[in-house]
């Protein structure tokens, strides 16, 4: 099972693109840029100075403007400079109710300007509140699955073949292991001895089934471990119901395969021949049913 899941993971990883985390530092990403801030209220001068200092420390050539909208419109007359130089700005004011109103301006032509503008505004608010401190922000994108993976018939066929070979084989070995004890007890007359001592046949088979089914359930819990390691995104989180569904299918498989193994044990007199035959039958039946649409 581990080999199967690992092979599937390797097969799909070649279509996945990894991106390095990017620290949202405006000076290291865009270099020296232009910016502005607006504040006309004397009671907010401390916060305005904090914003100016934060912008200066990030290599933003900042200036105080009386009207941010007019400043941006005038700056945009040089379209090339507008696209390359001005990135962020800030406005500090109060709304009619007296609540603090902070506006982070950003140039939407820059890919990371919005989080950077919010970061600088929050940093200024933090430094004005506690007289120090700094906030750092890192963008760590999730891996991107390339679109051609969905059109790669060969890759999907390989995943299907790996799953239809290893999963039925693992379950077949588990089912065949339950033929060994009945064959051994019948060959050594241990079963006959127990029946002659007064144990009812129904109790004999019921006790054996309950014990084997308990072993089967424990084995199924261990068999779900490879999925947790190599396909955790499909079995946990919002898909957590997949874990219980898979376990339920394995438990129901044991409920049917263990009695089948008991019936198959009557056909063979040697444990190795019975084990090999049941493995071959279960693996073949599992492969055939896996290809059924």
What mean pLDDT comes out for the span 8-37?
77
- The answer to whether 105 and 91 have CB atoms below 8 angstroms apart is yes
What mean pLDDT comes out for the span 44-54?
89
Domain 21-139 falls under CATH 3.40.220: no
Summarised one tens digit per residue, pLDDT across range 107-118 is: 988 888 899 999
pLDDT-based confidence at residue 271 (cuts at 50, 70, 90): confident
Least confident of 64-68, 159-163, 223-227, 279-283: 159-163
Domain positions in the chain: 21-139, 153-290
What mean pLDDT comes out for the span 137-152?
64
The yes-or-no verdict on residue 264 having pLDDT over 80 is yes
Supply the angle between the helices 153-176 and 201-223 in degrees, to the nearest 10.
150
Higher pLDDT, 37 or 228: 37
Q: Which of 7-16, 55-64, 157-166 has the highest mean pLDDT?
A: 55-64
Least confident of 57-61, 84-88, 158-162, 267-271: 158-162
* Cα–Cα distance list, 179 to 10, 78, 171, 279 (Å): 36, 84, 14, 10
Higher pLDDT, 223 or 213: 213
pLDDT-based confidence at residue 216 (cuts at 50, 70, 90): very high
CB-CB neighbours of 248 under 10 Å: 11
Q: What's the mean pLDDT when you consider all of the chain?
A: 82
What mean pLDDT comes out for the span 1-24?
66
The per-residue pLDDT for 149 is: 46
User: 55-68: b or e for each residue (b if 16 or more CB lie within 10 Å)?
Assistant: beebebebeebeeb
Summarised one tens digit per residue, pLDDT across range 179-196 is: 988 898 888 888 888 888
The yes-or-no verdict on residue 14 having pLDDT over 70 is no
The yes-or-no verdict on residue 38 having pLDDT over 60 is yes
The yes-or-no verdict on residue 42 having pLDDT over 50 is yes
């Amino acid at each position: 099972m581990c080999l199967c899941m690992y092979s599937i993971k390797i097969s799909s990883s070649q279509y996945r693109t990894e991106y390095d985390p990017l620290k949202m530092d405006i000076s290291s990403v865009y270099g020296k840029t232009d910016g502005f801030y607006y504040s006309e209220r004397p009671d907010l001068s401390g916060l305005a100075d904090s914003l100016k200092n934060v912008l200066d420390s990030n290599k933003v050539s900042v200036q105080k403007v009386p009207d941010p909208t007019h400043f941006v419109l005038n700056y945009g007359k040089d379209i090339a400079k507008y696209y390359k130089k001005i990135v962020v700005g800030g406005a500090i004011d109060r709304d009619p109710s007296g609540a603090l109103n902070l506006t982070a301006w950003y140039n939407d032509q820059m890919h990371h300007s919005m989080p950077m503008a919010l970061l600088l505004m929050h940093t200024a608010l933090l430094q004005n509140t506690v007289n120090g401190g700094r906030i750092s922000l890192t963008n760590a994108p999730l891996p991107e699955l390339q679109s051609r993976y969905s059109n790669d018939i060969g890759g999907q066929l390989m995943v299907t073949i790996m799953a239809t070979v290893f999963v039925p084989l693992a379950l077949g070995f588990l089912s065949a292991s339950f033929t060994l004890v009945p064959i051994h007890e019948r060959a050594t007359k241990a079963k006959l001895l127990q029946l002659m001592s007064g144990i009812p046949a129904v109790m004999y088979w019921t006790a054996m089934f309950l014990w084997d089914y308990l072993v089967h359930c424990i084995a199924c819990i261990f068999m779900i471990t490879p999925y947790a390691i190599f396909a955790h995104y499909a079995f946990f989180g919002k898909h957590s119901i997949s874990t219980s569904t898979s376990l339920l299918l394995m438990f129901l498989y044991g409920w049917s395969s263990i009695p089948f193994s008991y019936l198959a044990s009557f056909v063979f007199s040697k444990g190795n021949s019975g084990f090999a035959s049941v493995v071959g039958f279960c693996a073949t039946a599992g492969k055939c049913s896996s290809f059924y649409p």
